[in-house]
Structure 1
Amino acid sequence: MLPQLGYLNTSTDYTHLRLPSKTYKLDINSGHIRGHTDELSAMEQAVYKILATERFWYHIYTPNYGVELDGLVGSRREYIKGDIARRLSEALTADDRITGIRNLNVSFSGEEAGVSFIVGTIYGDVIVERRVALG
């Protein structure tokens, strides 16, 4: 006798559940884990980690994680100014809790570019100011 199998009801609506944002709190200065963090504070940490990780360099991360800034080294300032918004947006919006970036400002000083912008998240805004070596 064969077992009776149930059938998957495809007419049922399924909703995508968003996973909680609770994670370990990293003390950036000491390199130690100090408790837990959640929501906006966790997003500040997520943004920091994404921007601190060069995409495709580390096998522990998926190819969608990190930012491609290394390719800007040696590029003309006009190109950098035009392309950095796309690179930052691509890197950050891979996280579904991030809704986008706005108010991007790019400045140059010697062999560095300074970027400042606001990252919109489902928990609120994260303000980012960062320097990127270009040479």
Structure 2
Amino acid sequence: MSIFPSEVINVTNLIDSTVITPSELPLVKEYAWDFENNDFLLVDGKNAIVTGKEAIKVWVWKALQTKKYRYRAYTSKYGHELDSLINQGFSTGALKAELERYLKESLLVNVYITGVKTIDITIDGSKTDVSFTVTTVYGEVSVSV
């Protein structure tokens, strides 16, 4: 298993309008992530592996921590462009709408993710908190960033 995301490799199926059923997808796997310490989760000195909803949560977190087009190790579909919203002078309503659009664009490239909903955006000065629910082929995952 590689440390690089591989779940976006089936995106061409979405472009070709091919319907993918959950039974056709391999079980998603990711290295476990310690969100509090911002590092891989180790068990007996080795990387732990998570699957299903927990793996999607790790993938979402990593995608939202990675700037799109910045690292050659990732495809051009992986990551986010949220930084482009900084200092644009948008009204609060426009900023929230753009944040929601960018968030969905960043996450819906993953074939295991079928939707993003219940997006709650709080803007306090220069700080923005976002929480949302990701609908996956395994069920729903709540995320806060």
Query: Given residue 55 of structure 1, which amino acid in structure 2 is its aligned partner?
Result: K
1:59 aligns with 2:72: yes
Which structure: greater helix fraction?
A: 2
Residue number in structure 1 paired with 2:28: 21
Tell me by how many angstroms 1:124 deviates.
Answer: 1.4
Q: What stretches of structure 1 move > 4 A for 4+ residues in a row? A: none
Structure 2 unmatched runs, 5+: 1-18, 43-47
Structure 2 residue aligned with 1:45: 58
Greater CA drift, 22-31 or 100-109: 22-31
> Over aligned residues, Cα RMSD in angstroms?
1.8
Match of residue 103 from structure 2 = 88
Matching residue of 1:79: 94
Is the contact between residue 115 and residue 136 of structure 2 (CA under 8 Å) also seen in structure 1?
yes
Q: Deviations over 1:23-73 (max 9, x none)?
A: 322334162342111111111111111111111111110000011111011
With structure 1 as the length reference, what TM-score do the two structures score?
0.77
What is the deviation of 1:79?
A: 2.6
CA offset digits 1:73-105 (Å, max 9, x no partner): 112233311211111111101000001111112
Percent identical pairs in the alignment equals: 31
**1:101 corresponds to:** 116
- Select the structure of larger CA radius of gyration: 1
**Greater relative contact order, per chain length (Cα 8 Å cut-off, separation 6+):** 2
